[in-house]
Amino acid sequence: MQHQIVSSEFKPAKWLKNRHAQTIYPAFPWAGPPKIRLRSEVLELPDGDLTVVDWMTGGPEANPDTPILVILHGLEGSAYSPYARMMLKSAADHGWRAAVLHFRDCGDYRNRLPRRYHAGETNDIRYFLESVRAEGHEGPMVAAGYSLGGNVLLKYLGENGVSTPLNAAAAVCVPLDLHDSARALTQGFSKFYQSLLLKRMKKAVRRKFNPHTAAFDWHRAMNARTFADFDDAITAPLHGFSGKDEYYDRCSSISFLADIQCPTLIINAIDDPFMTPAAVPDLSRLSEAVQLELSLNGGHVGFIDGGTPWNPTYYLPSRIIRFLDQHIADADSHGRPLPGL
């Protein structure tokens, strides 16, 4: 696939054009994310920790040839996040099996080790994908990552190059430059999202640690006012970085895009309140396997394109399915890629 940057076909619903409305609306209970049934599996990890994989039930039966979609959620998200529920349902309706791989300490379970997750942790997705292959799945595998999960997915793809069992991948509303996103969330109304997410993150930290067990400065962590403060006080020391700058430098997916060899679609909105247009890479940063689709509108993981306020329609699920399905068909006609090593 020739590398390119293209304009998105997405057009916001006439009744929901504001970027913050697009971002917030999917979280409302009447906004349309479907009810789903899940089966949870504990995933034991090589370092002695664990996480959980939630599989969609009520869809296609498991067999070695049925396509599998793996979803990576965003910051403090889970399989019940609206975008994950929509994507799970869309995949099942399309005849695929689908699962959400949770980041450590997310969802309704706790991990064992004195750590959580971060935007550059690719070992878990690598291990899970290769475990699925090792357990006998011979059919296509694809992945979709949202926000922080999109950053993890792109970094993994860049690190692994041709050595991935994935036929194709899609990443949505990705904070390609973590420095840029940290700054964007200190501006204007974006401070609202920062405040909301920081409360959730601190609550999760308090649930796992206390002032006596924390391997970081507890007082500084609990008084963090920005993502940069939080990452410098907690994320970095918990996961082996000297501070937020090293963490952002080493984990921003923009540095890995040129090495991606798996067909990959990135969908970002220029008006995304979690980043600024300065984070958009130029062609020189993209490999020939990457297509960057830019929309003027859409907010952060919103992309509501029509319907009514009580029955909205969403652009992302069908767009992602269409892209991934195209490359499953291409792989079937030209042979499948080598599995991960």
Catalytic residue from among 78, 147, 181, 252: 147
Is the Cα torsion angle 306, 312, 316, 321 positive or negative in sign? negative
> Can you tell me the distance from the alpha carbon of 179 to that of 230, in angstroms, rounded to the nearest whole number?
13
Catalytic residue from among 73, 94, 137, 300: 300
272 is catalytic: yes
> Can you tell me the distance from the alpha carbon of 90 to that of 99, in angstroms, rounded to the nearest whole number?
12
On whether the CB atoms of residues 27 and 306 are closer than 8 A, the answer is no
- Residue-by-residue DSSP string for 31-83: S-PPP--EEEEEEE-TTS-EEEEEEE-SSSPP-TTS-EEEEE--TT--TTSHH
284 is catalytic: no
Catalytic residue from among 124, 231, 271, 272: 272
| The token pair that represents 163 in the structure block | 């050595």
Among 289, 280, 256, 49, residue whose Cα is nearest residue 166: 289
Helix axes 82-93, 316-334, angle to 10 degrees: 40
At CB < 8 A and 24+ separation, what contacts does 194-202 make? 194/226, 194/227, 197/75, 197/76, 197/227, 198/224, 198/225, 198/226, 198/227, 198/230, 200/76, 201/75, 201/76, 201/230, 201/234, 202/230
271 is catalytic: no
Instruction: Look at residue 6 and give its three-state secondary structure.
Output: strand
Give the residue numbers marked as catalytic: 147, 272, 300
